[in-house]
């Protein structure tokens, strides 16, 4: 264990000794509590700095006194600083298992220093303290999910933060759905097309699409559409977690078929126009015939007039 401590600023003692220098003749003594340190001194033109490394143990945790003394000739100057030594390792994130199968119950624990307060995925421990946990049933959506444990410890009035993250892997069987593997394709003959069918799963499944058990559909490859490509394919996605199948159909439109479609549409438009014209013609004939019959009976036709406003 190597407890750490906030690094104190060295006091500016040399200014007080002014004209008594040369600096190179100054003697520097550092001590932490009762432990005398062996500093490395770096001299400048009119100043110096002193650094020392010190090893501490858990028994040294708490407030210690740091003494810095400078001696030059028959004069000396001394200053004191307090140093807080503490031990605060990063918190632990513990998973029941880092890799589980879909549907497995998983316990996630967050543990830190006894005096620390933790949050797990942003949710504080209840009650506030050094431990938190959550339970979940693993789903495919949890694959690659990160669990973050944040710990906060107050040291000498300052808040110190440490974090740790672990990732969960979820194994699940192959998936083939309409969104990623359409069940029907219709393409013009001689066009360039790329059949796309994506299988999902962890581990990533192997995918094959075959017609009549032998003729493969070139998934993800650009191909020229021919009559041989037409048919129904059985797509099979397989992994150590199982397998799933899905049928996909490829329809190929020949140029003659396109001409037939255009001809049928054109004929339908013509017939519709002719039918509308016939309907309007017959309607006008009936109106004229009705008016003639009314005139022969001597029944005057009522003019279409608007009502006079009151």
**Residue 121: Cβ-neighbour burial (10 angstroms; 0-12, 13-18, 19+):** middle
| Domains of the chain by residue range | 12-85, 92-171, 176-255
- pLDDT of 63 > 80? The answer is yes
- pLDDT of 305 > 50? The answer is no
Quote the radius of gyration of the chain (alpha carbons, Å).
44
- The answer to which of 9-18, 35-44, 155-164, 295-304 has the lowest mean pLDDT is 9-18
Please tell me the pTM assigned to this model.
Answer: 0.63
Question: How many angstroms separate the CA atoms of 94 and 71, rounded?
Answer: 54
Q: Kindly state the percentage of the chain with pLDDT values over 70.
A: 76
Report, at the CATH architecture level, how domain 12-85 is classified.
Sandwich (2.60)
Are 12-85 and 92-171 equal in CATH topology? yes
CATH number listed for the domain at residues 92-171: 2.60.40.10
- The answer to which of 37-46, 129-138, 234-243 has the lowest mean pLDDT is 37-46
Largest CA distance in the chain: 148
Task: Note the pLDDT tens digit of each residue in 181-210.
Answer: 999 999 999 999 999 999 999 999 999 999
Report, at the CATH architecture level, how domain 176-255 is classified.
Sandwich (2.60)
């Amino acid at each position: 264990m190597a407890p750490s401590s906030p690094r104190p600023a060295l006091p500016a003692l040399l200014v007080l000794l002014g004209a008594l220098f040369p600096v190179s003749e100054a003697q520097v003594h550092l001590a932490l509590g009762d432990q005398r340190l062996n500093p490395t001194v770096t001299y400048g033109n009119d100043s110096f700095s002193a650094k020392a490394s010190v090893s501490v143990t858990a028994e040294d945790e708490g407030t210690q006194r740091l003494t810095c003394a400078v001696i030059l000739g028959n004069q000396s100057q001394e200053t004191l600083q307090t140093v807080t030594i503490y031990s605060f390792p990063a918190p632990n994130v513990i998973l029941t298992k880092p890799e589980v199968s879909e549907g497995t119950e998983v316990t996630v624990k967050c543990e830190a220093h006894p005096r620390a307060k933790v949050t797990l995925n942003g949710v504080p421990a209840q009650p506030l303290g050094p431990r938190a946990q959550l339970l979940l049933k693993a789903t495919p959506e949890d694959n690659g999910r990160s669990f973050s444990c944040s710990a906060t410890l107050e040291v000498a009035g300052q808040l110190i933060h440490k974090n740790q993250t672990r990732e969960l892997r979820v194994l699940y069987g192959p998936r083939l759905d309409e969104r990623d593997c359409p069940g029907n394709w219709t393409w013009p003959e001689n066009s360039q097309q790329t059949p796309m069918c994506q299988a999902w799963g962890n581990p990533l499944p192997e995918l094959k699409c075959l017609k009549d058990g032998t003729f493969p559909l070139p998934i993800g490859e650009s191909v020229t559409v021919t009559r041989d490509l037409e048919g129904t394919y059985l797509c099979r996605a397989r992994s150590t977690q199982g397998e799933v199948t899905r049928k996909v159909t490829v329809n190929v439109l020949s140029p003659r078929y396109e001409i037939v479609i255009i001809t049928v549409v054109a004929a339908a438009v013509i017939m519709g126009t002719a039918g509308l014209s016939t309907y309007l013609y017959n309607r006008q004939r009936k109106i004229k015939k009705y008016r003639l019959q009314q005139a022969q009976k001597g029944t005057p036709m009522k003019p279409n007039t608007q009502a006079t406003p009151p």
